[in-house]
Amino acid sequence: MQSNDERKVMILHNFKKEEYLKIIKALEEIGIGKKTIVAVTTPTTMEWNVGYLIKELLLEDEEIKKNIN
């Protein structure tokens, strides 16, 4: 498992679905897709501070990876 220092987080705001899917594909193509969390803002996350949002994204990513393995 990667440490929090190795994982990258990209937060997207006001992107259309086809746009953020292209970004995800580009991250995979350049080899950093597996270690990059891509999140799209929601009305709820817009109320959070950045530190809290990143912490939640990292926790969610860990849970997802546990359920996959």
pLDDT tens-digit readout, 21-50: 999 999 999 999 988 999 999 999 999 999
Domain that holds residue 29: 8-68
2, pLDDT greater than 90 = no
pLDDT in the model for residue 65: 85
Q: Is residue 19 part of a domain?
A: yes
Q: List beta partners, residue 37.
A: 9
CA angle 50, 52, 53 (to 5 degrees): 65
> Buried b vs exposed e over 28-52: b needs ≥16 C-beta within 10 Å?
eeeeeeeeeebbeeeeebeeeeeee
Q: Is residue 54 part of a domain?
A: yes
Does the global pTM surpass 0.85? no
Q: List beta partners, residue 12.
A: 40
Question: Tokens for 60?
Answer: 């969610």
Domain count, the chain: 1
